[in-house]
Amino acid sequence: MIDTIAAIATPLGEGGLAVIRISGPRALGIAEACFRPAGKLSLPPSTAPSHTIHFGKIIRRGQPVDDVLLSVMRAPRTFTREDVVEISCHGGLLPAKLVLDALLENGARLAEPGEFTRRAFLNGRIDLAQAEAVADLIHSRTELALAAAREQLAGELSRRINSLRDDLMRILAHVEAHIDFPDEDIAPDTREKLVERLQAAGSFMDQLLRTADEGQILRRGIRAAIVGRPNAGKSSLLNRLLGRDRAIVSPIPGTTRDTIEETANIRGLPVLLIDTAGLRETSDDLEIEGVRRSRKTLADAEMILHVLDGSEPLAADDQKYLDEFAVNKRILVRNKIDLPPRLFLPGAISPIGVCCVSGAGVENLKDAIKEKIWAGEISGEMLQVMINSRHQDALRRARAGVERTLAAMRDAASLDLTALDLRIAANAVGEIVGKTATEDLLDSIFSQFCIGK
Ligand SMILES: Nc1nc2c(ncn2[C@@H]2O[C@H](COP(=O)(O)OP(=O)(O)O)[C@@H](O)[C@H]2O)c(=O)[nH]1
Ligand SMILES: [Mg+2]
């Protein structure tokens, strides 16, 4: 017997409203046991038509807990395809917790993280790629990332993956038919057609695999460390790129001692900016710790924004960074272009000039950052099929299986082996949408969700 789950679906903390969600075969009955209708048209959940809202009180151990709006959604037209009740109560930890308690005391079980979405998946409402898109949607930090998550939730990637898997299954059926009749070899022209279809499947996989890096960027963002000697304007630049004052700006060198990390939205891409502590050699204990962390940050960063003070001659430290950071990873920024220029660089080095006080040049810098992360256009077509690292892993295995199958066909190897590799490829593709997914895989995906989702 499937149990009925309940959880607070809104973030914990104080707010205007909190929502408690219940799903399962006893959702209506459990809600009924805790709910006393108070509106003129309000009904008890068991008699309420689907998709209606009712005003009333939640009663816990005989005492009213809160005035609520209760929505009744009957299976199967719900997110989980089970009976669902959602209760909106007053925000704040206590009302929501007491409402939840009342439900748990009447037989609901506290939901695990992602369990509502897991049920939506198990009941065929969405596939695994779409379930992941729900998490992406919640975590997306830019509109572009949100658009990609929405496309995946709408099922565009799933449609293509399903048709890819169908192709592989049909080819497999063909090969297997010949295994059953060992005397008949596959006729040369049939073999030729199968090879063509496999090659087409392979290049489609390559196409999808090429979106993995962009998918990663949109989902996780990239880490960009801001470096430069003290007073160059690193904190000022961080604030400029964020569009708000996050870091302390000060004329006294060495003010930023801890590392500050904030995600900026740069041309739709999430960029985690890291303001490093001054990198200069020092005897101050606190600053030494800062320097140690900076080194670590730099090693992990995918991009370095090296800020030079345009109003000062090149310092020894700056020269060191210029030598240290590979050109393809760094962007050179010449700050303080509003002041008389005193920084002279070798001709081959051409930094982007900015003034962090007025904001001059900052848009150019944003373009340069975007260009370095993502050359070319970000097309709507790309957003539709942006695969994640799990999809990438599965597709790589599938691609290798197709490659082995092609080799086996060329060498006229045994059909059993050919079929085996094809099956591996089709199963790997099926993992993406969850057609072939182990419990472990599901656990690892859904445990990343929050409770109540
Ligand atoms: N004139 C001028 N001063 C700037 C500019 N950017 C930063 N500053 C000043 O330079 C000093 C150091 O800036 P800050 O961002 O704290 O440098 P950090 O030590 O590298 O983080 C502060 O007094 C800023 O107001 C700029 O573009 N022009
Ligand atoms: Mg600073």
Roughly what angle, to the nearest 10 degrees, separates helices 362-373 and 234-242?
A: 80
Mind spelling out the 3-state secondary structure of 354-379? CCCCCCCCHHHHHHHHHHHHCCCCCC
Residue nearest atom 2 of ligand 1, based on CA coordinates: 336
pLDDT of residue 164: 97
Report pLDDT digits (tens) over 388-397: 999 999 999 9
Pocket of ligand 1 from Cβ distances under 6 Å: 228, 230-236, 249-251, 255-256, 335-336, 338-339, 355-357
Least Cα distance to 241 among 214, 283, 269 occurs for: 269
Residue 310 has pLDDT above 60, yes or no: yes
Peptide bond into 340 cis (omega under 30): no
Q: What is the DSSP pairing of strand 260-266 with strand 5-8?
A: unpaired
242 CA to centre of ligand 1 in angstroms: 16
pLDDT of residue 183: 65
Mean pLDDT of the region 267-287:
72
Report pLDDT digits (tens) over 406-443: 999 888 778 888 899 999 999 999 999 999 888 998 99
Report pLDDT digits (tens) over 88-138: 999 988 999 999 999 999 999 999 999 999 999 999 999 999 999 999 999
Choosing from 236, 262, 357 the residue with most ligand 1 atoms within 8 A of its CB, the one to mutate for a pocket test is 236
Alpha carbon distance 225, 254 (integer Å):
17
pLDDT of residue 436: 86
289 CA to centre of ligand 2 in angstroms: 15
Choosing from 275, 334, 356 the residue with most ligand 1 atoms within 8 A of its CB, the one to mutate for a pocket test is 356
313 CA to centre of ligand 1 in angstroms: 15
Q: Which tokens belong to 58?
A: 């939640």
Q: What angle (nearest 5°) sits at the alpha carbon of residue 21, between those of residues 77 and 444?
A: 90
Mean pLDDT of the chain: 90
Contacts 24+ apart (CB under 8 A), 164-170: 164/201, 164/204, 164/205, 164/429, 165/426, 165/429, 165/430, 165/433, 165/435, 167/197, 167/200, 167/201, 168/201, 168/398, 168/402, 168/422, 168/425, 168/426, 168/429, 169/426
Where do runs of H (alpha helix) occur along 325-414? Answer: 362-373, 380-384, 389-410
Ligand nearest to the CA of 259: 2
Report pLDDT digits (tens) over 57-82: 999 999 999 999 999 999 999 999 99
Looking up tokens 């929502």 gives: 19
Report pLDDT digits (tens) over 215-270: 888 888 899 999 888 899 999 999 999 998 888 888 877 665 667 889 999 998 99
The single-letter DSSP state of residue 259 is -
Residue nearest atom 13 of ligand 1, based on CA coordinates: 233
Least Cα distance to 244 among 235, 232, 254 occurs for: 235
pLDDT of residue 379: 78
pLDDT of residue 281: 47
Task: State what percent of residues in the chain have pLDDT above 90.
Answer: 65
**Ion ligand 2: residues, Cβ under 5 Å:** 234-235, 256
Q: Which atom of ligand 1 is nearest to the CA of 248?
A: 16
* Residue 35 phi, psi (nearest 5): -115, 135
230 CA to centre of ligand 2 in angstroms: 7
* Residue 23 phi, psi (nearest 5): -145, 140
Q: What is the DSSP pairing of strand 84-90 with strand 63-73?
A: antiparallel
